[in-house]
A and B are shown apart, each in its own frame.
Chain A
Amino acid sequence: MSTTAITLSDTTARPVTLRFHEWVTTVDHKRLGILYVVYALIFLLVGGVEATIMRLQLVRPHNDFVSPQAFNRMFTMHGTTMIFFVAMPLVFGFANYLVPLMIGARDMAFPRLNAFSLWMTALGGLFLYFSFLGGDGLYGAGSAPDVGWFAYAPLTAKTFSVGHSTDFWTLSLLSSGIGSIGTAINLIATILCMRCPGMTLGKMPLLVWLNLVMAGLVILAVSPLSAAQIMLLIDRYLGGHFFDTQAGGSAVIWMHFFWIFGHPEVYVLVLPAFAFASEIIPVFSRKAIFGYPVMVLATIAIGFIGMSVWAHHMFTIGMSAGANTFFVLSTMAIAVPTGIKIFNWLATMWGGKLRLATPMLFCIAFLFQFLVAGLTGVTLAVAPLDWQLGNSYYVVAHFHYVIVGGILFTVFGAFYYWFPKASGKMLNEELGKLHFWLFLIGFHLTFDFMHVPGILGMPRRIYTYEPGRGWDIWNLIVSVGVLFQAAGILIFVFNLVWSYFRGKAAGKDPWNAWTLEWSTSSPPPVYNYATIPTVRSRRPLWDLKHPEDPDWRYE
């Protein structure tokens, strides 16, 4: 662990083409991780522009900023992009980068599969956006897909979706799904087989545990989605009738297929968010995580229960009272392990010495917002309330609270926390705070007030609305919030670029942290560790820094 980094060759001296070739052909988990993250950031900007177009359209009733057709494409592309080409690559990018470092490994178990997965995901994004041209966009009336991100049958049947936009959507999800499953297999194999000496399952950092469960969920959830995409292709091209209701197919089967992916997917995204919080909160509270074994058990419980809640997306489709009751119970049950996690994070902070640097600020905001998101989730879990609120703007507000307020906030925290490790430079702290406050204000303006029109009866996915329903002012406020969010994001991107070139040098361990990745240089050498480390506790660097009072005495 004391070995310093050996630079193999000076990377800046070689020609650009050669360096580009190195990045394209790389099988190094760190480079692949960075590629995932950069790819996700580009799509974050694209998806953000799509959201902005929607909010401009909805800023007042009977607005005609865009046509209904264009609006419908925007919400389809926004949802698909943000889930499959922003959130998933961010999750996989961070997992790829961090997991081998945190378990003291030199790379993932299957480096080539890793590269293959990245490029399959990249191909998926290409498919999706090629639809603007290839979905008969330049010639016919069509263009990008306009079936909504959950693409309910039979809207995707040939009858209702002419042209090829739906095909590009299908191929896009199929391709990125293969990438996701590949990465999931890789993560599981890496975590189970590549841990350094001394790191038993019970001594893995929580981040690794959470990513292990996440990877298991990916395999269980993405497989049915991929199967459904293949069935849809068969329907559209080979005369199948799985979802073709005009030929006796079932629209409800598609809903089941989609949501048995779609709900576990929420946990696929939120477990890594929990993972970031579980690393950042202890370091910035200067205390060990409270109740490690319970945190692990709660994670596994979320994984299991998370597979049995999908039909709460379908309370309005006319399921039997028995089925509705079951899914109310399972959905509420998941609040218990999630609540336990929130209490454990609070207990970790309790009695600590909180350092309110940017990563911690994002995590504290996450705790607050995830609390709200969880509680509005409980209200939606109550089927009779869902009959009112389901598919309204209340739901849109709820899941953006989860995905933006919960997941994206911790991802930002993770950027500020691990950017120094990946680049060797600190992100600028003043810009970071500015980013945090702008984004926080924008987030709350947009998503707090978005609950209200939903309660007042505004359904989602409408390109315009009638005046006089009491929705106008709320929509205006929601749209204004977007300005603040956009400003925050731009500052963040500027900060990334500026700090990469001009940032303060980070050194090995800028946060005085405790997990293995902080023991190697920043950025780490290709082989991560010259000597494979040996650990005795969950916080190997604490043991090093406090030989008089090491963790392994208590674990």
Chain B
Amino acid sequence: MLVLVTVAAIFVVVFGLLAYVVVRFRRRYHDPSEPPQIYGSTQVELAWTVIPVLVVVALFLASARVIASIQNARRPPGALEVIVTGHQYWWEYRYPDLKITTANELHVPLSDPAHPTPTFLTLLSADTDHSFWVPRLGGKTDLIPNHPNSMWIDPHEKGVFLGQCAQYCGTQHAKMLLRVYVDSRAEFDRWVRMQQQPPPGGASPLGQRVFESTACVNCHTVSGSRANGKFGPDLTHLMTRETIASGAAANTHEMLRLWIKNPDAIKPGSKMPAMGLSDPDLDAVTAYLETLR
């Protein structure tokens, strides 16, 4: 705030001077005579050196304090820990204490200022550089391979907060969206319990058979089944998510089917291949995925 006010004040003063000079000293008629030549003034130069130095020192001290308060913050006992891994072009979230793995939609508890329960994020990358940015929850921090980073958020307001990857990471950088759900404590606990249970099995045996007999299982995990790939998002509780393709499409029957049929139709350049399934197989797999709650 101090910074913005100072900057605005400098702008007004210097712009005012410039405007005044241009208007006041404009040559109004053809006047061949030269104005008096002035070569400089030590006092004036000193003044406009010392004053900016003082301004810079003030701004610097203010920002140094904020940097220290953010980067050296202590982790309170109630803090939640999440490991965020950036992939081309989606987000993997692991809650090590809660033994949950999910993707793209991050759920965190609302933090009460009296008893803060901030969320501490460890930021990793599986491939190229990414950056975790949800503007209304905090600044961005990059996810860099071989260079673990961390940041924390302390949300005091419930709701869905939108963000996206903020470091160019390849073809579909633009659709590497992310959603953070800030839930009340009760909602969050309910969500955690749901994520910890295995999905109800056996509801769509045909679709499950097709799913497990194609290359889907090389990249995706559905806990309690043969699918245990790690390259793509964990699908165990796919239906609890509101979006697919890292926020690029709503999680509806039509979009899900289209996404399985031809990912490039939604997100050209995405790393998920079109599997070339026949229409009946496509319907079966879609039906199976829709049982994963």
Chain A residues in contact with chain B, CB under 8 A? 67-69, 72, 146, 148, 152-155, 159-160, 245-246, 248-252, 285-288, 290-294, 316-318, 320-321, 324-325, 328-329, 332-333, 335-336, 339-340, 342-344, 346-347, 349-356, 364, 367-368, 371-372, 375-376, 378-379, 381-388, 390-392, 456-457, 459-466, 469, 546, 549, 551, 554-555
Contact = CB atoms under 8 A, between A and B. Distances in A.
B59 interface: yes
Contacts of B67: 321, 324-325, 328, 383-384
Nearest to A371: B14
Contacts of B139: 316, 384, 386-388
B269 A69 contact: yes
A296 B60 CA distance: 26
B164 A154 contact: no
B218 interface: no
Given A152-B129, A251-B144, A252-B144, A462 B38 contact: no
B37 A288 contact: yes
Contact of B146 (A68, A250, A294, A554): A250
Nearest to B3: A382
Contacts of A155: 128-129, 168-170
Contact of A463 (B70, B166, B174): B174
Interface string B168-187: 11111111010000000000
A350 B21 contact: yes
Given A328-B60, A384-B70, A546-B34, 15 more contacts: A69-B268, A154-B129, A285-B25, A286-B35, A291-B41, A292-B39, A317-B147, A318-B123, A318-B141, A332-B56, A375-B7, A382-B63, A457-B135, A464-B174, A551-B37
Contacts of A332: 56, 59-60
Contacts of A318: 123, 141-142, 144, 147, 149-150
Contacts of A160: 88, 127-128, 170
B131 A68 contact: no
B275 interface: no
B11 interface: yes
B220 interface: no
Given A291-B45, A457-B163, A354 B26 contact: yes
Which secondary structure characterizes the binding site on chain B?
A: mixed
B114 interface: no
Contacts of A379: 3-4, 7
Contacts of A382: 3, 59, 62-63, 66
Interface in B99-123: 123
Interface residues of B, number: 78
Contacts of A378: 3, 7, 59
A460 B173 CA distance: 10
Interface in B62-81: 62-64, 66-68, 70-72
A381 B62 CA distance: 12
Sort A-B residue pairs by CB-CB distance and give the 8 closest, nearest first.
Answer: A387-B139, A462-B174, A318-B149, A457-B135, A245-B145, A291-B40, A321-B71, A459-B166
Given A328-B63, A382-B3, A371 B15 contact: yes
B72 A321 contact: yes
Nearest to A539: B37
Interface stretch (B47-55, B202-210, B230-238, B255-263): B47-55
B166 A391 contact: yes
A246 B126 CA distance: 9
Contacts of A291: 39-41, 44-45
Nearest to B24: A350
Contact of A288 (B26, B39, B66): B39
13 contacts: A152-B168, A251-B145, A292-B40, A316-B141, A318-B147, A324-B71, A332-B60, A336-B49, A378-B7, A388-B139, A388-B140, A457-B135, A551-B37
A287 to B, nearest CB: 6
B63 A354 contact: no
A385 B168 CA distance: 20
B167 interface: yes
A247 B59 CA distance: 42
A248 B63 contact: no
Contact of A462 (B49, B66, B149, B173): B173
Given A154-B127, A349-B21, A387 B141 contact: yes
Contacts of B127: 154, 159-160
Nearest to A291: B40
Contacts of A72: 168, 171, 173
A328 B61 CA distance: 10
A67 B175 CA distance: 13
Nearest to A538: B39
Contacts of A328: 60, 63-64, 67
Nearest to B23: A354
A469 B7 contact: no
Given A375-B11, A383-B63, A388-B140, A336 B52 contact: yes
B144 A336 contact: no
Contacts of B128: 152, 154-155, 160
B165 interface: yes
